[in-house]
Amino acid sequence: MATSASSKLNKAVKQQYMDLPQGDKVQAMYIWIDGTGEGIRCKTRTLDSEPKTIEDLPEWNFDGSSTYQSEGSNSDMYLIPAAMFRDPFRKDPNKLVLCEVLKYNRKPAETNLRRTCKKVMSMVENSHPWFGMEQEYTLLGTDGHPFGWPSNGFPGPQGPYYCGVGADKAYGRDIVESHYRACLYAGIQICGTNAEVMPAQWEFQVGPCEGINMGDHLWIARFILHRVCEDFGVVVSFDPKPISGNWNGAGCHTNFSTKEMRDDGGLKVIEEAIERLGKRHRYHIRAYDPKGGLDNARRLTGHHETSNIDEFSAGVANRGASIRIPRSVGQDKKGYFEDRRPSANCDPYIVTEALVRTCLLKEEGEEPTDYSK
C-alpha cells in the first residue's frame, strides 16, 4: 500500500528536537477552512506568552489566492481567532486556534459559515440546543486505494467489519486510537469511536455540544485526524461515497435536541419538529453537503442504511429513514432525534444552523431567512 515519504522519516530523530525546551515562547497553530468548504489549512506563529482566552490571540492574515479564496491582485485575508484548544502534537503550552476568515473588506469569506451560524444560535440560546455528530471517514493510501484492501481486488463482503476486532476485520486501529487520545488531550468533546460497516471505514462521535461549539469541536477533530494520518503516512477521506458499488457510504448523522425535547413530554415537541423538517426537505438536502446535494446523491440511494435523497421519511429505530427516533426516546417520551441525511463532508455550522432555523425559528420555504437586516 502506498504511504507518504515523510512518514518514513526517523521519528526518534524528530523527537530529540521536540524535547528541547521552548522557553517562555508559545507556538499557536492558526487553522481555517479554505475556499473548497472542505479543505483545512494551517500555519504557526510564535507568541510571547501562553494565551488564556481567545482575546489574547492576535488577528493574522494569509494569501487567499493560494487557498481558492481570493484573486492574486487583492489576496490578503484576515484570520480571526474563534476557538482555542490544547495542541496534542506540540503539547502544552502550545495551542490550536480555529479561525474565521474575513475578506479584505472585513466581510465573511464565502466558506466562513460560522459567522451566520453563531448569529442564529444566539437567537435560540434559551432553548439550549444540543448537538452530537457522528463523523464517518475512510482511510486511504496516498494512491487513493482503501487502507488494508488487497492491491488488486476487494476484501470480503460487508458483515464482519462493523465494530469488528481482529487483523482481518479492523483496518487501521492505531490511527483511530491515536486520534481519540489526541482529541481528549486537546479538549475536544469526543464521546466515542467504532469501526464502520465498510472495511477501512471508521466513525468518531463528538457531543453533546451546545450551539456554535458543535461546529468548532468537529472541525478541530477533523484537523487532528488529518494530522494523525499525516504522521502515519495515509490519507483520511470524508467523501460520502468513496467506493462505488455494494459498499456503505459515509455520513455525519446529527443528533439534535432542545431543553423542551429533553424535558418530560418532549416527544410531542420532537414530532412537531420532524413535521416541519418534512416540509423543508429540499432546503436541508442543499445544506447537508458542500455541493448543494450533489455529493449526497451518490450516497442517499435508499440502500446501504440510507434514505432516498428525493423522499423524506421518519421512524422509530429505522436506519433507512431520513430521521430516526431512537427506541429509548419512543419509550421515555422525551430526548432527541437523529437526522441521518448530512454527508460525511458536510459543514457542521450550516447543518446545525439549518436544524435550528427549521425546528426552532420555524422557518418555511426553500431559502433561509436573512436576520442581518
Question: Which residues, in sequence order, are CB contacts of 325 under 8 Å at separation 6+?
Answer: 267, 270, 274, 314, 315, 316, 317, 337, 338
pLDDT tier, 199 (very low <50, low <70, confident <90, very high otherwise):
very high
Give me the mean pLDDT over the 286-310 stretch.
Answer: 93
CB contact set of 12 (below 8 Å; sequence gap of 6+): none
* CA pair distance 334, 258, nearest whole angstrom: 10
> Would you say the pTM of this structure is higher than 0.95?
yes
CA dihedral 364, 272, 128, 266 (to 10 degrees): 180
Q: What is the rounded average pLDDT for all residues in the chain? A: 95
> What is the grid cell recorded at 335?
430526548
Residue pLDDT, tens place only, 24-34: 999 999 999 99
- With residue 236 as reference, give the H or E element that holds it: strand 235-237
| Domains present along the chain, CATH in parentheses | 26-110 (3.10.20.70), 121-360 (3.30.590.10)
Question: Could you report how far apart the first and last alpha carbons of the chain are, in Å?
Answer: 54
Tens-digit pLDDT profile for residues 29-85: 999 999 999 999 999 999 999 999 999 999 999 999 999 998 877 789 999 999 999
Per-residue confidence band for 210, with pLDDT thresholds at 50, 70 and 90:
very high
Q: What is the pLDDT at residue 119?
A: 97
